């Protein structure tokens, strides 16, 4: 399982990178716009913070394949490193993916709501496909089952594409995606943090420290008793 952060907030990225095994950062136009800052400066700041090797997924704007291809070329030139250009699975997006794949650009197919969208994107050359779990659940769909069917289709057809499940509002959704064998998730730092939360973990840790300090003294640890 790869954990990615779905945010462009530098403070959040720093904190989560410090604590968790994070493989990269994903953004979309909404996430970037929320930061209300210069686009390129923000993306380059994220790149410099996470390093050249970490995955950085940035979405191309545009409704035509020409616009999307031009955006992707711009991003490749300006951002560099381990960059994945996110392209929505509209027909012009699929056309752009075919062209960009030939030019060696790594691709994340996005705005995916059905297994067939994911399958076609994978055949067109997407390295990752990003199904939106919570947005599907919100309209009485079953987001995690869609992830499961995509994983199944990729196995069935021997496709190398990976599922980067996105749009999460609960630990339960992440858990179900994991059970379905989703290869990666991208979520807000808040959800990533919630994955570790359990009151019994906290009380157990406190109990261990209390018991230890009761015998060895307050503030004592193994290396200084």
Report the interface residues with ligand E4P, using CB under 6 A.
Answer: 6, 26, 28, 110, 130, 132, 134-135, 166-167, 186
Nearer to ligand E4P, 65 or 110 (CB): 110
The catalytically annotated residue of 14, 42, 86, 106 is 86
Nearer to ligand E4P, 26 or 144 (CB): 26
Nearer to ligand E4P, 125 or 131 (CB): 131
Smallest distance, ligand E4P to C-beta of residue 136, A: 9
Smallest distance, ligand E4P to C-beta of residue 51, A: 21
Nearer to ligand E4P, 31 or 120 (CB): 31
Smallest distance, ligand E4P to C-beta of residue 128, A: 9
DSSP for the chain, written as a single string: -EEEEE---HHHHHHHHHHS-EEEEE--HHHHHHT-S-HHHHHHHHHHHH-SSSEEEEEPP-SSHHHHHHHHHHHHHHT-SSEEEEEE-SHHHHHHHHHHHHTT--EEEEEE-SHHHHHHHHHHT-SEEEEBHHHHHHTT--HHHHHHHHHHHHHHTT---EEEEB----HHHHHHHHHTT-SEEEE-HHHHHHTT--HHHHHHHHHHHHHHHHHH-TT--GGG-
Q: Does residue 86 have an active-site annotation?
A: yes
The residue whose two tokens read 């959704």 is 173
Return the structure tokens found at 49. Answer: 């913070």
Smallest distance, ligand E4P to C-beta of residue 182, A: 13
Smallest distance, ligand E4P to C-beta of residue 47, A: 18
Nearer to ligand E4P, 9 or 212 (CB): 9
Residues that are catalytic = 86
């Amino acid at each position: 399982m790869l954990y990615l952060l779905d945010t462009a907030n530098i403070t959040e990225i720093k904190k989560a990178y410090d604590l968790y095994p994070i493989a990269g950062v994903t953004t979309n136009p909404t996430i970037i716009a929320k930061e209300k800052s210069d686009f390129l400066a923000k993306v380059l700041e994220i790149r410099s913070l996470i390093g050249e090797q970490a995955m950085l997924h940035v979405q191309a704007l545009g409704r035509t394949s020409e616009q999307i291809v031009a955006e992707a070329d711009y991003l490749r030139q300006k951002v560099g490193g381990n960059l994945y250009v996110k392209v929505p699975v509209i027909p012009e997006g699929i056309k752009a993916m075919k062209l960009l794949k030939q030019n060696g650009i790594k691709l994340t197919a996005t705005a995916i709501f059905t297994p067939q969208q994911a399958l076609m994107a994978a055949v067109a050359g997407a390295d990752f496909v990003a199904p939106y779990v919570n947005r599907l659940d919100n309209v009485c769909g079953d987001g995690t089952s869609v992830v499961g069917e995509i994983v199944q289709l990729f196995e069935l057809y021997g496709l190398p594409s990976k599922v980067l499940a996105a749009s999460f509002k609960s630990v339960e959704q992440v858990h179900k995606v994991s059970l379905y064998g989703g290869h990666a998730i991208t979520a807000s730092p808040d959800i990533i943090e919630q994955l570790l939360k359990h009151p019994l973990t906290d009380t157990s840790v406190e109990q261990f420290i209390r018991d230890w300090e009761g015998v060895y003294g307050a503030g004592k640890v193994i290396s200084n008793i």
